[in-house]
Amino acid sequence: MEKFVGFIKKNEKGITLIELLAALALVSMVILLASSVQLFGQKQVNNQTNEIQNQSNVRLALNIVTKEIRKASNVSVTNNVLTINNTDIYKLENNILKKNNEPLISNIQSFTITKTEDKVTITITNTPSNNQPKTTLSATIYLRK
């Protein structure tokens, strides 16, 4: 019997169940930490992509309208409705900027136009989503005489 007990003490080459569980717990924590960092990064990328898309929509709407005004020979403004050359009509309906009643850009919160003798000022604000800041851009165009 004494030989058998000595054999058990000398043969300690394997790992115990406690060591295995401790190693699994450490590996699980590392994987959990890595996945939470990855999910946070992915959420930030999605938020920034949406914000850039909203800013791009406002910029595109402003560029389209200002380009049309620069080419125009006649510009009139009545109740935030912009009429260019008596043919093209820009107005905001239900958060959609429309040109001749066709949707141009969506998610627009406000479309403000003011006209004095020789200049037109346009201000466009988007409808923010998911706690994002709203984007407001404006441009002033001096009309040719």
Degrees to nearest 5, angle at CA 49 with 102 and 68: 35
pTM (predicted TM-score) = 0.71
Does the structure show a pLDDT above 90 at 2?
no
Domain residue extents for the chain: 17-142
CA gap 40, 37 in Å, rounded: 5
Six-digit token string for 128: 């923010």
Q: What is the pLDDT of residues 100-127, one digit of tens each?
A: 999 998 889 999 999 988 899 999 999 8
Q: What is the pLDDT of residues 10-41, one digit of tens each?
A: 566 778 889 999 999 999 999 999 999 999 99
Q: For the chain, give the number of residues.
A: 145
Phi and psi for 11 in degrees, rounded to 5? Answer: -95, 75
Q: What is the pLDDT of residues 41-91, one digit of tens each?
A: 999 999 888 889 888 989 999 999 999 999 888 899 999 899 999 899 999
Only one residue has tokens 């992509």, namely 49
Give SS3 for 73.
coil
